[in-house]
Structure 1
């Protein structure tokens, strides 16, 4: 599956110039725009900064015909198709999605790298969507990654700073952080481990357990630093508030009993700690020698079982059982008398319910043109929660 792309171009002042002829790119995932930029350069000799998605011909990813907004430094020589689109400002638009936004972020990053003695010789845009913008910055030092996230995910910087001290090597090295959503990360060799098997996932779970043990003693500091507090009653309140605009009739019973269920979870005796929030294998990067966990924007303070449930959710029950048993054994050794198995059983339907609330939060915090990224996720997660409940 591929994508067909139309790039509507604007100049540095945001004035519409017209659209490039449509072309295909190999990756179907809408937020991946490295090949969109590369193909505009190959076909037309243009250096384009892709700002944001404008329209899609299907309700959700992947594939289809997508229209993106791109910025160029000056009117290109290539003929452009006349197009007129409403580009009015929107209060929920990311700063990187406005004309001049990418240039401002790259200027910040190159200044920081110059200060560190790591001058930049090449910049390549990799991703842009409602949850992040990512660029690769290369130089004699190697590669550095600039990541920019919206305000509702900016606590990722605080999480990474804490992890750098508490669990060195567990995450990418933070080179700079502006405190407002932009971070510079040192390159991590290897690849994202989407295809990780059970043995590798088991190792990831063991690595993560060590991090969560350290974090259990740092919960107040993490909350003070801005990491969302999703402990017990706070989690229940947040889920209900996030899902209030949506049809939750399929999970009415689960929501009604949520406080009592979470109170039962508390009685299982496991400590609250730092939760990654999206610990699937694709958020682990490795090269066979080193593994690091990436993308901590969904992190929160809460129950550790959420991460093992996410790490095992795509596995058959018989395959996941040994991983869950090993996880439970580690916690039982650290907290004698706790009941990890019961905590997992109680939280199994809550895990997709929480994910539904996460996607609902995204939808409430992004402009409507980008809703197709997540609109189908809320009902899908609610259906899973109902099935598990």
Structure 2
């Protein structure tokens, strides 16, 4: 699916300069801006830092005609088209989406790498959207990745620090962390495992169980470091608050009975632990020898079943069944007397409802021009929750 880009340029002070003529880029995904930068350099000889999305001609990704804001060091020699865009400030704008924001973050990362004896010779912008900004910094000692996240993901650095001590090798190596949303990570060879088959998913689940077993003994430290506490009643309160501005009438019954349902989940006897929150194969990176879990911004303290449900949600029941059975067997062995299968059954309709609340939180924390990234996610997840609740009721009455 094609993506056509119009790049509106501003100078270092944010003064508008005009727009480059539209051009095509290969990736349809709006947050991927590496090719946007590369094409501006190839076509016009410009070094551009993409700041943020301004407009889209469709309600949600992927593809379409996108207008981005980009910063240049000085007015370019190439002719620019006159455009009218709203560049007024917004209180929810990410720091990397402001003029000078990318340069400040790159300067911090470059300084940290030089302090580690790893001078930087090249920087490439990879991604920019409301959930993160990512750059690759390269030098004679290899590559490192600078990731900057918004305030609602700020605890990711604390999670990565905890994992570095408690589960070495489970995540990328943290080279630096400013405590305010910027982390510098060592490169992990391989690729994101979106296409992982059932055997690889089984290995991911087994690795993750080890991490969760260790985390269950260290919850006070995780919570004290800023990881959201969404155990039992807390997750119910958070879901209801996040979804309050949205039309969720199709799951009114599920929301009304959420506290009683979570009480039943608690009686299943599994320990609360560190939950990744978005454990699909695309958030796992590997090269056949090493496998690590990335993107811990959605992490929270809560019930471990949320992760196995996320890892298996796209699989048909016959394929997911053995993965769920192995997950349950591990918990029965490590938490004698627990009932993992019932916990999964009770949380099957809650899991998409929790994801709807996650997306609602994103929408509440970003500026309106970036709402199209997530606007369709809340109703889609609510529909999934309603379908799961209906299937559960049918199984009880059938």
In the superposition, the TM-score normalised over structure 1's length comes to 1.00
Query: Which residue of structure 1 lines up, in the alignment, with residue 297 of structure 2?
Result: 297
Query: Which residue of structure 2 lines up, in the alignment, with residue 89 of structure 1?
Result: 89
| Cα offset, 1:84, TM superposition | 2.2
Secondary structure of the 1:372 match is helix
**Is the Cα contact below 8 Å between 1:34 and 1:127 reproduced in 2?**
yes
Pairwise mapping of residues 233-244 of structure 1 onto structure 2 (< 5 A)? Answer: 233-244=233-244
**Is the Cα contact below 8 Å between 1:16 and 1:84 reproduced in 2?**
no
Ranges in structure 1 where 5+ consecutive residues have no aligned partner: none
Query: Which residue of structure 2 lines up, in the alignment, with residue 14 of structure 1?
Result: 14
The one-character-per-residue Cα deviations of 1:253-308 (angstroms, maximum 9, x if unpaired) are: 00000000000000000000000000000000000011000000000000000000
Query: Which residue of structure 1 lines up, in the alignment, with residue 150 of structure 2?
Result: 150
Cα separation, 2, equivalents of 1:62 and 1:14: 28
**Is the Cα contact below 8 Å between 1:161 and 1:174 reproduced in 2?**
yes
Pairwise mapping of residues 80-229 of structure 1 onto structure 2 (< 5 A)? Answer: 80-229=80-229
Pairwise mapping of residues 298-337 of structure 1 onto structure 2 (< 5 A)? Answer: 298-337=298-337
- 2:296 counterpart of 1:271: no
Pairwise mapping of residues 374-385 of structure 1 onto structure 2 (< 5 A)? Answer: 374-385=374-385
| 4+ residue segments displaced more than 6 Å | none
Pairwise mapping of residues 61-76 of structure 1 onto structure 2 (< 5 A)? Answer: 61-76=61-76
| Cα offset, 1:2, TM superposition | 1.9
Secondary structure of the 1:152 match is helix
Query: Which residue of structure 2 lines up, in the alignment, with residue 358 of structure 1?
Result: 358
| Cα offset, 1:56, TM superposition | 0.2
| Cα offset, 1:10, TM superposition | 0.2
Query: Which residue of structure 1 lines up, in the alignment, with residue 395 of structure 2?
Result: none
Pairwise mapping of residues 20-39 of structure 1 onto structure 2 (< 5 A)? Answer: 20-39=20-39
| Cα offset, 1:83, TM superposition | 1.0
Cα separation, 1, equivalents of 2:113 and 2:193: 28
Q: How many residues are matched? A: 389
Cα separation, 2, equivalents of 1:130 and 1:69: 13
Ranges in structure 2 where 5+ consecutive residues have no aligned partner: 390-398
| Cα offset, 1:90, TM superposition | 0.3
Cα RMSD, aligned residues only: 0.3
In the superposition, the TM-score normalised over structure 2's length comes to 0.98
| Cα offset, 1:151, TM superposition | 0.6
